[in-house]
Amino acid sequence: MPRSSPVAASGTFTLGDRTIHRLGFGAMQLTGKGVWGPPRDRTACHLVLRRALELGIDFIDTADSYGPHVSEELIKEALHPYPDDLVIATKAGLLRTGPDRWVPLGRPDYLRQECEMSLRRLGVERIALFQLHRIDPTVPAAEQFGLLRDLQHEGKIQHVGLSEVTVAEIEAARRIVPIVSVQNRYNLIDRQAEVVLAHCTTHGIGFIPWFPLANGQLSRPGSVLDRLAVETGASASQLALAWLLRRSPVMLPIPGTASVVHLEQNCAAAQLQLTDVQQAALTSAGASSERKQAT
């Protein structure tokens, strides 16, 4: 890790037995439009991934469905052989049938197949964190969790995570296999997963918020976010990330981008220290915006 790493300011979290910096990188946006097909500039994506490691990022989140397969392939092309401290998390459980189209598929034979293919695409003998992308409602959940347990026992995956789940589903899974992380949508203006976040905080489960930079109308001129941007010299996205990092010690934001400039700006957010007053102002403004959208 570089001595001047801005990401180090985000602090650390231990996923099972793997300690990572709390600010990571999401590799979904490295693919084509609609998270489908290859990027327009493959070399630029390689540069983003390499720059991420230079900035101190040691946690990269991807999925077999990003592309599909494209994101995992780019990671291997750019970074293999991997540094010992790099944790690459991937996911399975969503079938792709076209741009912006996602279909849950949790049959144990399919999940096993995708795990084997991710191992090959990433060029690893064991996946550090393997996440069930969605629970397939057409397959008994216990069968899906049981397959994850089997893969762990076989040494194909090290740790298990879930995505877009309720507290009840987390606890049902934990009765079958240890769960170290949960990835639900969560940001300043969308806190439907607040109860899940509280549960993860209580039990020391890593919470990976996807779509972390959303701020809706909060960045409009004269808004709280706009005033704080002027006050701190930070961008709206940086404020949104700083708010997340302060929200809970188990919060692991993974902002994604295909731009080195945006990557550097996101990483710099780890060094932004919000005051209690600023944090409370953003919390209140975000909650108010969420209520307005719900009405």
- Measured from the Cβ of residue 247, the count of other Cβ atoms closer than 10 Å reads 21
By residue range, what is the domain housing residue 135? 6-213+249-257
What lies within 8 Å, CB to CB, of 4 at 6+ separation is: none
Q: For residue 130, which amino acid is it? A: F
Closest Cα to residue 225, out of 210, 211, 213? 213
> What whole-number distance in Å separates Cα of residue 16 and Cα of residue 33?
34
> What's the pLDDT tens digit per position in 221-265?
888 898 999 999 999 999 999 999 999 999 999 999 999 999 999
Has residue 289 been placed in a domain?
no
Alpha-carbon distance values, 242 to 7, 55, 87, 114 (Å): 12, 17, 22, 35
Active-site annotation holder among 66, 82, 110, 186: 66
What's the confidence (pLDDT) of residue 287? Answer: 79
CA 62, 63, 68 angle in degrees (round to 5)? 120
What's the confidence (pLDDT) of residue 295? Answer: 44
Chain centre distance of CA 73: 18
What's the confidence (pLDDT) of residue 293? Answer: 56
Has residue 45 been placed in a domain?
yes
Has residue 175 been placed in a domain?
yes
Closest Cα to residue 106, out of 88, 121, 91? 91
Has residue 92 been placed in a domain?
yes
The number of domains in the chain is 1
Has residue 292 been placed in a domain?
no
Provide the CATH number for the domain around residue 85: 3.20.20.100
Has residue 240 been placed in a domain?
no
Has residue 87 been placed in a domain?
yes
The DSSP code for 218 is G
Which range (22-26, 71-75, 285-289) has the least confidence?
285-289
Has residue 72 been placed in a domain?
yes
> What's the pLDDT tens digit per position in 57-89?
999 999 999 999 999 999 999 999 999 999 999
- Residue 186 a catalytic site member: no
